Amino acid sequence: MSIARSDGRVQPARAGDPKRVGPYRIIGRLGSGGMGTVHAGLDPAGLRVAVKVIHPGQAEDSEFRARFRREVQLSSRVHGPCLIPLLAADPDAENPWLATAYAPGLTLDQHLAAHGALTGGTLYAFATGTAQALAAIHAAGVVHRDVKPQNVILTPAGPRVLDFGIAHAADGTSVTRTGVMTGTPGWISPEHYRTGTAGPESDMFAWGTLVAYAATERLPFGTGAPDVVAYRVLSEEPDLTGLPEELRELLTKALAKNPAERINAEAAAKECARLLARQATQVLDTAAGPDPTRIDGCLTTEWNLPSTEDPAWSLPTRRRRQHVLMTAVVTAIAVAAVSGGIVFYSSGDRADGDLASDHTSPPTPSTEIPAPNGASAPTGSGGPATATPAPEVDPRTIKIPKDPLAGITNPAYTRSGDETQPFPEEWRASATADSAAERNAEKTIRDRMTSMLATKDMNYMKPTITFNQRAQTVMVTGGPVPQLPETQQEVFRRAGEMAACSALAHRLKDTPTTWPYGRYSVYWKTSGGDLDATALGFGEATDGCLSTTAGHWHGDDAGMATAEIPSSDKAEIRVADSAVKAIVATWNTNTAETNEAPLAVDDGISLGFDPVENAAYVWTDDPYSRFTSRASQSNLTSAAEEAVCRKLTREFHSNKSWLYTRWAVAVHDSYTGTRQFIGSGTCPS
């Protein structure tokens, strides 16, 4: 999300701004843009963070929300020098948000407007730091896609690249559905103009432009009408006059028309480091490779920007901060338990701990959140701690880890982010499990699907699990079953996607350098024969299937359709019967002093279960039009939540095979003739 910052200083909050986002107390604004607002926040320890909250209009777009979630996961992988670490995010909040370490200072374009071009050691330090940042981003399998002056902050400790990955989710430069090129002329690579694609090579083209712009205050291909600039990018050589000769040679490689001829980020970082060391010492042997420790010192030494202090942050005193640090973990646990949706990431990058102007490194956040039964808790890393026995973890506990491939530089799965659906030929070429790991995954997927389907008396749907290593895809196939109801085929799809996604994500997390499967596809055989099948669904195991408790869960039509299929599980039948009676009793108790008419058990209240998302659905066809007003719908939601959660929680603690912790309520909409969801959520432990 590329959001303009005013000058890095805290601006007053505006009417309607949140007082708190996740565990962060909001004290003002840092900037805003078309996609969201950046708030200045303090964590429980009083350390400074930038909290970016998506605008409500964007949050209502399910496709944007899915892209935002995906980019958060990609960004959580990236750690390295001159980056601003992602600390926490909740893509499933009502208004999705993410938090990063706060970086004081002006963006590059703001600095150039106020102070002019970068020169001498500062210029070489800028080139080195930004190249190192891109090298770390690319090593994690991520493409920035929006390298430009607004996304580089010049902090007192050096340059910091921000919005890696997230920028693409919000306003990335790409070809839109209508084929219209978006992006800023002058920062778009030749291959992006030609094909609409942007890879690491495009980032390096933008890096060359960035460094040239920092040194000369002009774009290598000039300005003007977009088509004129595009012609220059595609056909003319860049104008690099005014640059030091050795740096000009390097940027010429970065700005090559052919992406295959372009220097990569790692090589550029090494070459810039060598030039930086020469600036610092003037005696470094050009044939010798730079010493990393010495180069880090050179970058800091040669970087010549003053520190700034903004009194608006109103940090607590040191004594107060020490006390707050002692209680920060407890506070974080409480906040996470209330919100149920914050995903914390461990930055693993102590080099960026000096981004706050008090130069205090924030404690490493947790990578887990308590599941509905509260089995796990965050831990800090602020210093030595007394070892305590790990609590016994309920096997049903759902942990919320980082992206399964977070921090892995050379994963066996290489198609991360590839949204191309598998071809029918790839399904036909898939084979049965060959290795022990494949057989283990096959059993995990089949067992999970079988348990979900069994509750709906759909045991006859026997899934076949096959593997296509070239496509890095696991195929889940069912059928053919004559005259199968469409609703049951949909249940098979949902069960297959959930089981495969979870199984593959765990494999990616546990054995990332050897497990090559990160994609899954669900098929249904037609009656035409074994070589004919219809694709029902497709997805990637890194798309958040492990984070099934993150955010506020919402019921949907697919879950409702599954819940309407009668259950064959005795425990589900028993709980459903008692829950309906409890809803009626709770309604009658809660509305005894209002004008609401009492309910009876046979007044059309129904309850069913969706084993795919572990949710209980309550619905009524409202034959007497009792639930048309907001007040009556609110009363019904309250009664259902109270009664259903009481029953689900009791069963959860007494029955180790019980997985249901969510609830949703729907009523008949007389205007559309369909059901309208009026409430949903996750039961507290």
Give mean pLDDT, residues 327-335: 34
Q: Is the pLDDT of residue 543 over 90?
A: no
What's the confidence (pLDDT) of residue 109?
92
Q: Report the candidate in 186, 199, 212 with the shortest Cα–Cα distance to residue 260.
A: 199
What 8-state DSSP symbol labels residue 150? G
Q: Find the range with the poorest average confidence among 222-231, 336-345, 556-565, 596-605.
A: 336-345
**What pLDDT is attached to residue 675?**
81
Tens digits of per-residue pLDDT, 435-488? 999 999 999 999 999 999 999 989 888 899 999 999 999 999 998 887 778 888
* Winning range, highest mean pLDDT, from 164-168, 258-262, 353-357, 413-417: 258-262
Question: Lowest-confidence range among 281-290, 310-319, 371-380?
Answer: 371-380
pLDDT given at position 73: 76
DSSP state of 646: H
Contacts (Cβ under 8 Å, ≥6 apart) of 380 = 328, 329, 363, 364, 366
What is residue 421's DSSP assignment? P
Bridge partners (DSSP) listed for residue 54: 36
Q: Which residues contact 587 (CB under 8 A, 6 or more apart)?
A: 596, 598, 599, 635, 636, 639
Give residue 656's pLDDT: 87
Mean pLDDT across the chain:
78
104: number of Cβ within 10 Å: 21
Report whether the peptide linkage leading into residue 149 is cis, meaning its omega lies within 30 degrees of zero.
no
For residue 409, the model assigns a pLDDT of: 74
285 noted as active-site residue: no
Structure tokens that stand for 242 in this block:
């005014």
- Asked if 402 contacts 367 with a C-beta cutoff of 8 angstroms, the reply is yes
- Alpha carbon distance 61, 169 (integer Å): 12
d(CA 498, CA 447): 12
**Strand 464-468 versus strand 343-344 pairing type:** unpaired
Question: Confidence class of residue 301 from pLDDT cuts 50, 70 and 90?
Answer: low
Task: Please compute the mean of the pLDDT values over residues 158-185 and round it to a whole number.
Answer: 55
Q: What is the pLDDT of residue 28?
A: 92
pLDDT value at 129 more than 50? yes
Roughly what angle, to the nearest 10 degrees, separates helices 120-139 and 292-302? 130
Contact yes or no for 42/67 (Cβ under 8 A): no
CA dist 91 and 54 (Å) reads 9
- Marked catalytic residue, from 92, 146, 403, 610: 146
**Helix, strand, coil content of the chain in percent (nearest 5):** 40, 15, 45
Whether the predicted pLDDT of 644 surpasses 70: yes
Res 521 pLDDT > 90? yes
Summarize pLDDT for 370-401 with one digit per residue, the tens.
333 333 333 333 333 344 443 443 444 433 33
427: its two tokens: 């399904």
Q: What is the pLDDT of residue 282?
A: 56
With contact defined as beta carbons under 8 Å apart, do 461 and 453 qualify?
Answer: yes
In terms of DSSP bridges, do strands 464-468 and 674-682 run parallel, antiparallel, or are they unpaired?
unpaired
Least trusted range by pLDDT, from 11-20, 147-156, 590-599: 590-599
Between 63 and 644, name the one with better pLDDT: 644
Whether pLDDT at 548 is above 80: no
Q: How far is CA 388 from the centre of its chain?
A: 31
Q: Rounded to 10 degrees, what is the CA torsion of 228, 232, 235, 238?
A: 180
Q: Which residues contact 589 (CB under 8 A, 6 or more apart)?
A: none
For residue 682, the model assigns a pLDDT of 86
pLDDT value of position 85 = 81
The β-bridge partners of 477 are 464, 523
Closest CA to 613 of 495, 477, 521: 495
Kindly tell me if the per-residue pLDDT of 186 is higher than 70.
Answer: yes
Is the per-residue pLDDT at 232 higher than 80? yes
Does an H or E element contain 39, and which? strand 36-42
Euclidean distance between CA atoms 445 and 502, whole angstroms = 8
Q: How confident is the model at residue 621 (pLDDT cuts 50, 70, 90)?
A: confident
List residues bridging with 88 in a β-sheet.
Answer: 99, 344
* Residue tagged 């921090």 (tokens): 407
Mean pLDDT of 547-572: 80
Q: Which pTM was predicted?
A: 0.52
Give the least confident one: 211-225, 377-391, 416-430: 377-391
What one-character DSSP code corresponds to residue 366?
Answer: P
The pLDDT of residue 645: 93
Burial of 513-536, coded b for 16+ CB within 10 Å and e otherwise, reads eebbbbbbbbbbbeeeeeeebebb
Residue 160, CA distances (Å) to 126, 561, 683 in order: 9, 49, 41
* 126 confidence band (pLDDT: 50, 70, 90): very high
% of the chain with per-residue pLDDT over 70: 73
**Cα-to-chain-centroid distance, residue 676:** 29
Average pLDDT estimate for 400-409: 62
Nearest CA to 425 among 479, 471, 492, 474?
471
Phi/psi of residue 292, nearest 5 degrees = -60, -40
CA dihedral over 472, 401, 61, 188, signed as positive or negative:
negative
pLDDT at 479: 83
Q: Name the residue among 616, 627, 611 with its Cα closest to residue 668.
A: 627
Among candidates 215, 216, 219, which has minimal Cα distance to 206? 219
Instruction: Kindly state the average pLDDT of the residues 285-309.
Output: 54
What does the pLDDT read at residue 592?
72
For residues 89 and 69, is the Cβ–Cβ distance under 8 A? no
Query: Could you give the 3-state DSSP secondary structure of residue 231?
Result: helix
Cα(655)–Cα(285) distance, integer angstroms: 71
pLDDT of residue 362: 34
- From residue 217, alpha-carbon distances to 211, 225, 256, 413 in Å are 10, 19, 21, 41
Closest CA to 381 of 346, 356, 424, 413: 346
More confident residue, 543 or 365: 543
Q: How does residue 669 score in pLDDT terms, banded at 50, 70 and 90?
A: confident
pLDDT band at 288 (very low <50, low <70, confident <90, very high): very low
DSSP state of 149: G
